[in-house]
C-alpha cells in the first residue's frame, strides 16, 4: 500500500457508509492508517450499530490496509475527544481529520421543531467543532495537520426544507475559515468540500415538484466515490499551500466556490436616512442583488 497519504493517521467521521466510507477506503488505499468513526445511526440520528464502522474496517484490512473502528458520537465533546484518542492510542499520532458525520431532519421552516433544529446543528456544526478542537492541540504540538470538512451547497447557496442543515453547513464553512486563519502559524490547514453525491441522506430531500424529482435523479448518477480523491489530496502534503478554500465536487467536475466579498457600494457624504436608503441606496444596488436561488437552480446541467 502506498500513495499520497502514506504513513499518515486519518480520522474520518461518519465513515460507515456513503461518502465517508469511500473516503476512508481511499485514504487507506493511499497508505493512511484510518480511524473509521460511525455510530451506526439512522439518517435522522436515531439508534446505534457498531456494524457499519467495523465492516469498513474489515474491507480496509482485507485489502492490506490498517484501520480501527470507533463508535463514539461527534455530538458530545468527551466522545469527540475519544475519537481522536483512538487515533493516538492505536497509531501513535493524528495527521488528518475529515469531518463528514451528519444527519438530516428536513422540514419546511414554519413547521420545524426545536428538537429538529438542535439535533442537526449538534451533529454537523458542533460535531465538526468538537472533533476539530480535540485534534487541534495535537496538530499544534507536532507543527502539522489538515482538516477537511464537508459543507453543502444547501448552505452556500440555499435549499428548501433544510434550514437546520443549511445553517449548520454554512457555519462549517465559517468554522473552517477561522481554523485556517488561527492555525496557519502552526502549519495546519483547513478546507471544505461541498459534495454532490447520492447517499441515503439525499433520499429525504423534499421532492414536491417535477423539477426537484429531476434534480434527485441527476444526483443519483453521482456516486460517493467521486468525492474521495479530493479529500485524499487535501489531507496530503501535496496540498500544503491550499488553505481556507471551499471546493465542490459534482461527478467529474471540481469547482472552487467563491467566498463573500463586497460586490458594489454607494456613498453619501452626509450619511443616510431611511428615506435616502429607499430612494438612492437600494435603486443603485438593486442591479447587483443576488437571485433567491436554490442549489438546484444554479447547478442545472446534467452531471459531467
How confident is the model at residue 207, as a pLDDT?
67
The single residue listed with the C-alpha cell 438612492 is 280
Q: Nearest-5° angle of CA 221, CA 232, CA 61? A: 90
With a cut of 70, list the residues of the chain below it in pLDDT: 1-2, 199-207, 215
Instruction: Tell me how far apart the alpha carbons of residues 213 and 78 are, in angstroms, rounded to a whole number.
Output: 41
Pairing of strands 188-196, 9-12: unpaired
Domain ranges of the chain: 9-259
Whether 165 sits among the annotated catalytic residues: the reply is yes
Predicted confidence at residue 199, as pLDDT, reads 67
Report the pLDDT value the prediction gives residue 300, as an integer from 0 to 100. Answer: 87
How far separated are the first and last CA of the chain, in Å rounded?
Answer: 30
DSSP for the chain reads --STTTT-EEEETT-SSHHHHHHHHHHHHTT-EEEEE-----TTS----SHHHHHHHHHHHHTT-EEEEE---TTSHHHHHHHHHHHHHHHS---EEEE-------B-GGG--HHHHHHHHIIIIIHHHHHHHHHHHHHHHHT-EEEEEE--HHHHT--TTBHHHHHHHHHHHHHHHHHHHHHGGGTEEEEEEEEE---TTGGGS---SHHHHHHHHHHHTS-GGGTHHHHHHHHSGGGTT--S-EEEEETTEEEEPP----------TT---HHHIIIIIHHHHGGGPPP---HHHH--SPP-
pLDDT of residue 205: 57
Q: What's the whole-model pTM score?
A: 0.92
Please provide the CATH number assigned to the domain covering 9-259: 3.40.50.720
Catalytic residue (one of 126, 130, 165, 233)? 165
Other beta carbons less than 10 A from residue 18's beta carbon = 23
Q: Do residues 57 and 103 make contact, with C-beta atoms less than 8 angstroms apart?
A: no
pLDDT at position 206: 58
Closest by CA position to 267, among listed 256, 276, 258: 276
pLDDT given at position 1? 44
Name the β-bridge partners of 162.
Answer: 107
Amino acid at each position: 500500500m502506498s500513495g499520497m497519504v502514506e504513513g499518515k493517521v486519518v480520522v474520518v467521521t461518519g465513515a460507515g457508509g456513503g461518502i465517508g466510507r469511500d473516503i476512508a477506503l481511499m485514504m487507506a488505499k493511499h497508505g493512511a492508517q484510518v480511524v473509521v468513526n460511525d455510530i451506526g445511526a439512522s439518517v435522522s440520528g436515531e439508534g446505534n450499530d457498531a456494524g457499519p464502522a467495523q465492516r469498513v474496517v474489515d474491507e480496509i484490512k482485507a485489502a492490506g490496509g490498517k484501520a480501527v473502528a470507533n463508535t463514539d458520537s461527534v455530538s458530545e465533546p468527551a466522545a469527540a475527544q475519544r475519537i481522536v484518542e483512538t487515533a493516538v492510542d492505536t497509531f501513535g499520532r493524528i495527521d488528518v481529520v475529515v469531518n463528514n458525520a451528519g444527519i438530516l431532519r428536513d422540514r419546511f421552516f414554519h413547521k420545524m421543531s426545536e428538537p429538529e433544529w438542535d439535533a442537526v446543528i449538534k451533529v454537523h456544526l458542533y460535531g465538526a467543532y468538537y472533533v476539530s478542537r480535540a485534534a487541534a492541540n495535537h496538530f499544534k504540538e507536532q507543527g502539522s495537520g489538515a482538516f477537511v470538512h464537508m459543507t453543502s451547497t444547501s448552505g452556500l447557496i440555499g435549499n428548501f426544507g433544510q434550514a437546520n442543515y443549511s445553517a449548520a453547513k454554512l457555519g462549517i464553512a465559517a468554522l473552517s475559515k477561522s481554523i485556517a486563519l488561527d492555525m496557519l502559524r502552526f502549519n495546519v490547514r483547513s478546507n471544505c468540500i461541498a459534495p454532490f453525491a447520492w447517499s441515503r441522506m439525499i433520499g429525504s430531500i423534499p421532492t414536491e415538484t417535477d423539477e426537484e424529482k429531476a434534480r434527485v435523479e441527476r444526483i443519483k448518477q453521482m456516486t460517493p466515490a467521486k468525492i474521495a480523491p479530493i479529500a485524499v489530496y487535501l489531507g496530503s502534503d501535496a496540498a500544503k499551500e491550499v488553505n481556507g478554500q471551499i471546493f465542490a465536487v459534482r461527478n467529474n467536475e471540481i469547482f472552487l466556490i467563491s467566498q463573500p466579498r463586497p460586490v458594489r457600494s454607494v456613498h453619501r457624504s452626509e450619511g443616510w436616512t431611511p428615506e435616502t436608503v429607499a430612494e438612492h441606496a437600494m435603486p443603485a444596488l438593486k442591479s447587483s442583488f443576488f437571485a433567491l436561488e436554490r442549489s438546484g437552480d444554479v447547478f442545472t446541467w446534467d452531471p459531467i
